[in-house]
């Protein structure tokens, strides 16, 4: 399974959208500062995630969420 997910920065009030195989481990990586693009916005909370059968499907959802329509 692959997941599209939405995080929210408690300190800077901004969202982050991504895709992963394990949203819980990915959240840990974000909060430990191991993701360059999000480290300055720690702490993050997982707001939403949805499971997909393939990575391609999860990536399509991620792209849609990042688009003007998905926001």
Could you report the per-residue pLDDT of 28-68, keeping only the tens digit for each? 999 999 999 999 999 999 999 999 999 999 999 999 999 98
| Per-residue confidence (pLDDT) for residue 67, from 0 to 100 | 93
Q: What is the pLDDT of residue 37?
A: 94
9 neighbors 51 (Cβ within 8 angstroms): no
The percent of the chain in helix, strand and coil, each rounded to the nearest 5, is 35, 30, 35
Q: Considering only residues 71 and 19, tell me which one the structure prediction assigns the higher pLDDT.
A: 19
Collapse the DSSP code of 19 into the 3-class scheme (helix H, G, I; strand E, B; otherwise coil) and give the result: strand
pLDDT of residue 57: 98
Per-residue pLDDT of 4-31, as tens digits, reads 999 999 999 999 999 999 999 999 999 9
């Amino acid at each position: 399974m692959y997941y599209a997910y939405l995080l929210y920065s408690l300190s800077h009030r901004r969202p982050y959208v991504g895709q992963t195989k394990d949203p819980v481990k990915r959240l840990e990586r974000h909060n430990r500062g191991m993701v360059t693009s999000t480290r300055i916005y720690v702490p993050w909370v997982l707001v939403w995630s949805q499971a997909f059968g393939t990575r391609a499907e999860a990536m399509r959802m991620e792209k849609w969420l990042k688009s003007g329509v998905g926001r």
